[in-house]
A and B are shown apart, each in its own frame.
Chain A
């Protein structure tokens, strides 16, 4: 890409300077029959760049699509941006602030959200960047391929300490990572925390199998195809589950009444992530 654009720029400049010198006023260059237009030339410099552009487009689009699709076995990590720090939550409940530890060679999927304004998770060495947007989940997938420590920045302007919002990403050998993950981690797994939230916030009051309230059974919900009351079908991914907690009236499941209250403002990003982890962990145990 650099070579290509460099060559084009150089080509234009060389021709321009060459013309400028050769046809300066008073030079003895041949000026007979100057052309004022040339259709073949015009079409040539329309379609030649077009062909090159399409090639670059495809190349870049294929790599970009890789940030969206990837290994279903990828390790999911929740990352929450807030003014002015990154808070990270691993599946086993281990939390870290402004640091992210990753095992070498393991495909990772970051699920990003924000507590306040838009932030952007940027690791220059990995060539990745993804905005963390309040009110929704965004994600990015990659596989760390080299051990070491790398700079982490916020790339979307977020207020006073935007320039200081950042930290380090550490890529470790898998065994060292496993040790790190267990080390000094008194907290239960994210799924266990989620189960606790599930009971404490009263979700289980309606969504339990023996409940008197007519609410969808949630065991094994994650990854299923859900039929909605308005005829649409959606896949129950993180974004769907999140929206169902905060905007329950939007995607009502077929056969149920829109009676669920919104939990907007009652659940923070950590609790939402824990609930989703809990729902994921019920896959295979469902009725």
Chain B
């Protein structure tokens, strides 16, 4: 009797309090949104295959990148690992029966769906063209689309983030198995814990900022628009105070996933465990102090620019520590290249490139040239897509036997990982060059001499689209026809592998006791 066979009706799923089922509800919802956001991106890349704006109009293009950004950030990336894998794994990894607040957990999914409905309604009603950043006074006074409807969607979905974060924090504090001290926690738990702290501290600021936009747009209360006595830069400060930490909401859990997969397939304990844990906390805290690096050319003062630049370099240090430690974990290991490992190594490589190019943007004088160009687009896609999405897919493959009780087809898994790695680089590496050559972002037309690089990028997008459809196909297939998975097919050491695949409703038949730290792997055995 597993959690999957507890009930077969739709009602049994929609009223469940089981964290594992809620995780699957999230998985279905975010996958749907991922393909909506992906379709918008595909349209954009098709438009950009030629220099002239011929496939779609300027206004349509502006709506496409807005909806792409809004959906991918708030309806896919932010909930991806915490709400799907985190929901499924946090209780299992700490030996708990469920989350601390199972009903709240279900409520947060419903809130997510309501927020999504608002956003989709705005999309169907004609869309919005402000960009996902909603810069003022454009968004409050000049944009014609359904700004308030989209803002309402993002506002609502924020509460889902806050509740999930709260749930994870309380669960980690209160429900650890006997003997599971803080420094025996898997790094995945550390990462999701730190992410949850950011979620509950930063998301309220986003909610306030969006409320202020709605007030100015609907009631004409002057907050951001200088014609009403407001200050447009105030908006940018408030927005990035949330949205920069949001980048760490997206990438910290990805680091957690990589830190589970790499030791398992290298058969080695993660190198420098304590430094890895402290690095997570370091990123989470310094990440709150770097928002001004989005505003080096916005008109903020010279000295503000200098402080934010220095802090941005500092936040790169813990990220570097993590990359070095993952690499050192491979040393003297016994490495197999299963699909999850390929995704995880791909994550480390792409995250490294994304991180190093972040140094260019942290350097004041270089940022003046590169900001608001395709260089920035390439940089954050390396972090969010190359990093977070690769890690998310790696995690889905790694824990698929546990989630579904079936093995995915290994050859297909490896092929998709390699295809995605190739397609990703083909899409986004040329964008670094385009940005350096001065192609601004959010342009639906560009100079003819930039067409070759844009064509490479568009071709890569086609490969990438195929690469994302593959797992949808073969993972779906494996649900019905995949080989039955044993309790621990990877011979991994985490508590989640000590129960059957798929797990029973309350995860463990008896509460596990923990006597040593995580990652007790041995390369020789």
Residue B320 CB within 8 A of the other chain: yes
- Measured CB to CB, the closest approach of chain A to B256, in angstroms, equals 19
Residue A180 CB within 8 A of the other chain: no
Which residue on chain B has the smallest CB distance to residue A54? B313
Contact of B131 among A8, A25, A136, A157 (CB under 8 A): A157
Q: A116 touching B321 by the CB < 8 A rule?
A: no
Q: A162 touching B443 by the CB < 8 A rule?
A: yes
- Measured CB to CB, the closest approach of chain B to A5, in angstroms, equals 4
Q: A63 touching B297 by the CB < 8 A rule?
A: no
Interface stretch, picked from B113-121, B304-312, B416-424, B474-482, is B304-312
Contacts of B447 in A (CB 8 A): 151
**What CA separation (Å) do A156 and B130 show in the bound complex?**
11
Contacts of A256 in B (CB 8 A): none
Interface stretch, picked from B149-157, B345-353, B495-503, is B345-353
Contacts of A24 in B (CB 8 A): 334-337
Contacts of B129 in A (CB 8 A): 159-160
Q: Which of A55-87 contact B (CB under 8 A)?
A: 56-57, 59-65, 67-68, 83
Contact of A36 among B269, B302, B359, B438 (CB under 8 A): B269
Q: A42 touching B321 by the CB < 8 A rule?
A: yes
Residue B226 CB within 8 A of the other chain: yes
Per-position binary interface string of chain A over residues 125-161, scored 1 when its CB falls under 8 Å from any chain B CB and 0 otherwise? 1011111011110100000000000010111111111
**What CA separation (Å) do A15 and B330 show in the bound complex?**
9
Residue B58 CB within 8 A of the other chain: yes
Size range of the chain B interface in the assembly: 35 or more
Interface stretch, picked from A26-34, A200-208, A213-221, A226-234, is A26-34
Q: B368 touching A64 by the CB < 8 A rule?
A: yes
**What CA separation (Å) do A35 and B270 show in the bound complex?**
10
Contact of B313 among A20, A53, A116 (CB under 8 A): A53
Q: Which of A113-133 contact B (CB under 8 A)?
A: 116-118, 120, 122, 124-125, 127-131, 133
Residue A212 CB within 8 A of the other chain: no
Q: B365 touching A160 by the CB < 8 A rule?
A: no
Given contacts A5-B360, A8-B356, A16-B345, contact A60 B365 (CB under 8 A): yes
Residue B472 CB within 8 A of the other chain: no
**What CA separation (Å) do A62 and B298 show in the bound complex?**
18
**What CA separation (Å) do A41 and B443 show in the bound complex?**
46
Interface stretch, picked from A44-52, A168-176, A181-189, A191-199, is A44-52
Contacts of A53 in B (CB 8 A): 313-314, 316-317, 359
Which residue on chain A has the smallest CB distance to residue B274? A37
Q: A31 touching B334 by the CB < 8 A rule?
A: yes
Q: A38 touching B523 by the CB < 8 A rule?
A: no
Q: A9 touching B363 by the CB < 8 A rule?
A: no
**What CA separation (Å) do A45 and B337 show in the bound complex?**
27
Interface stretch, picked from B135-143, B392-400, B505-513, is B135-143
**What CA separation (Å) do A133 and B227 show in the bound complex?**
12
Which residue on chain B has the smallest CB distance to residue A246? B226
Contacts of A19 in B (CB 8 A): 327, 330-331, 333, 335
Per-position binary interface string of chain A over residues 86-122, scored 1 when its CB falls under 8 Å from any chain B CB and 0 otherwise? 0000000000000000000000000000001110101
**What CA separation (Å) do A176 and B517 show in the bound complex?**
76
Residue B280 CB within 8 A of the other chain: no
**What CA separation (Å) do A41 and B363 show in the bound complex?**
27
- Measured CB to CB, the closest approach of chain B to A70, in angstroms, equals 12
Q: A50 touching B317 by the CB < 8 A rule?
A: yes
Which residue on chain A has the smallest CB distance to residue B268? A34
Residue B183 CB within 8 A of the other chain: no
**What CA separation (Å) do A54 and B312 show in the bound complex?**
11
Which residue on chain A has the smallest CB distance to residue B137? A117
Q: Which of B137, B299, B371 has the most CB of A within 10 A?
A: B299
Q: B364 touching A64 by the CB < 8 A rule?
A: yes
Residue B369 CB within 8 A of the other chain: yes
Q: B271 touching A125 by the CB < 8 A rule?
A: no
Q: A1 touching B366 by the CB < 8 A rule?
A: yes
Q: A16 touching B330 by the CB < 8 A rule?
A: yes
**What CA separation (Å) do A220 and B388 show in the bound complex?**
59
Contact of B309 among A1, A42, A61, A120 (CB under 8 A): A61
**What CA separation (Å) do A67 and B366 show in the bound complex?**
12
Contact of A68 among B131, B267, B302 (CB under 8 A): B302
Contacts of A116 in B (CB 8 A): 137, 142
Q: A65 touching B232 by the CB < 8 A rule?
A: no
Contacts of B272 in A (CB 8 A): 36-38, 41-42
Residue B46 CB within 8 A of the other chain: no
Which residue on chain A has the smallest CB distance to residue B231? A135
Q: B227 touching A265 by the CB < 8 A rule?
A: yes
Q: B137 touching A25 by the CB < 8 A rule?
A: no
Contacts of A259 in B (CB 8 A): none
Q: B309 touching A60 by the CB < 8 A rule?
A: yes
Residue B324 CB within 8 A of the other chain: yes
Q: A159 touching B317 by the CB < 8 A rule?
A: no
Which residue on chain B has the smallest CB distance to residue A50? B317
**What CA separation (Å) do A41 and B275 show in the bound complex?**
11
**What CA separation (Å) do A61 and B225 show in the bound complex?**
31
**What CA separation (Å) do A157 and B137 show in the bound complex?**
11
Residue B442 CB within 8 A of the other chain: yes
Q: Which of B231, B268, B272, B337 has the most CB of A within 10 A?
A: B272
Contacts of B333 in A (CB 8 A): 19, 23, 31, 34
Q: B58 touching A160 by the CB < 8 A rule?
A: yes
Which 7 A-B pairs rank lowest in CB-CB distance, beginning with the nearest?
A135-B226, A124-B438, A64-B364, A63-B365, A60-B363, A19-B330, A163-B443
| Besides the known contacts A36-B271, A134-B225, A155-B440, 13 further A-B residue pairs in the complex with CB atoms under 8 A apart | A12-B323, A12-B324, A16-B330, A23-B266, A23-B331, A23-B333, A35-B271, A57-B362, A117-B137, A124-B369, A127-B368, A133-B298, A265-B227
List, sorted by A's number, 21 A–B pairs whose CB atoms are closer than 8 Å: A5-B357, A5-B360, A15-B327, A20-B335, A30-B332, A34-B331, A46-B321, A49-B317, A61-B309, A63-B364, A83-B142, A128-B369, A129-B369, A130-B299, A133-B233, A134-B232, A153-B438, A155-B372, A160-B59, A163-B444, A247-B229
